C-alpha cells in the first residue's frame, strides 16, 4: 500500500486532538508513518478496532498490532454542516462509518469527493489516506481509484 498524504483544510487552534494513551499509541505511531494498523488477537485471529487490552471476541489478552490493507467499504455517513469549535474553516464534511476489508469498523472522515449525497454511495469502495492535522496524522478515507460515485 502506498500511503497517500493529503493536505485539506486543517482544523483551527481551538480544535481538539486525540491524546494518545499507552493502548492507542501504536495506532497513532503507525498513522504518522502512513500505515493503518489495527489489533489482531493471537488466539482467535480476529482483527478489531478501537484499541483495547483484550480481544472483544474471545477475551484473550494475546493481542498485537498489525498493518492492514487500508481498503474499506462505506457503511453509513452524515454530512456535517455545523462544525465543532476549531473546525469552522473546514465547511461541510463527511463523517462516516467504514468497514475495513479485514473486518473492523471505524468512524472516520471521507475526503476526495464533494460532501453531497450523490457523491456518496453506501457500499462504495474506499482507500485509506492520511491527513496531517496540526501535527497529528489522522487516517481518513477516499473513494478507491476507478470507483468514484
Q: What is the pLDDT of residues 94-123, one digit of tens each?
A: 999 999 999 999 999 999 988 889 999 999
Instruction: Compute CA distances 59 → 45, 99, 149, whole Å.
Output: 12, 22, 40
**Cα–Cα dist 145/149, whole Å:** 11
Grade residue 91 by pLDDT with cuts at 50, 70 and 90: confident
Higher pLDDT among residues 114 and 6, named by residue:
114
Q: What is the pLDDT of residues 28-64, one digit of tens each?
A: 999 999 999 999 999 999 999 999 999 999 999 999 9
User: What residue spans define the domains of the chain?
Assistant: 22-143
Instruction: Compute CA distances 106 → 54, 62, 76, whole Å.
Output: 18, 22, 11
Residue 7 has pLDDT above 70, yes or no: no
pTM of the model: 0.87
Amino acid at each position: 500500500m502506498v500511503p497517500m498524504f493529503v493536505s485539506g483544510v486543517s482544523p483551527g487552534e481551538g480544535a481538539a486532538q486525540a491524546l494518545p494513551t499507552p493502548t492507542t499509541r501504536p495506532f497513532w505511531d503507525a498513522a504518522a508513518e502512513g500505515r493503518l494498523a489495527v489489533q489482531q488477537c493471537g488466539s482467535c485471529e480476529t482483527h478489531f478496532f478501537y484499541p483495547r487490552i483484550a480481544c472483544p471476541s474471545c477475551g484473550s489478552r494475546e493481542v498485537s498490532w498489525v498493518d492492514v490493507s487500508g481498503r474499506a467499504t462505506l457503511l453509513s455517513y452524515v454530512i456535517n454542516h455545523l462544525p465543532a469549535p476549531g473546525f469552522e474553516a473546514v465547511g461541510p464534511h463527511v463523517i462516516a462509518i467504514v468497514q475495513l476489508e479485514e473486518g473492523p469498523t471505524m468512524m472516520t472522515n471521507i475526503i476526495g469527493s464533494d460532501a453531497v449525497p450523490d457523491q456518496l454511495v453506501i457500499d462504495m469502495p474506499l482507500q485509506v489516506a492520511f491527513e496531517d492535522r496540526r501535527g497529528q496524522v489522522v487516517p481518513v478515507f477516499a473513494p478507491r481509484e476507478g470507483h468514484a460515485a
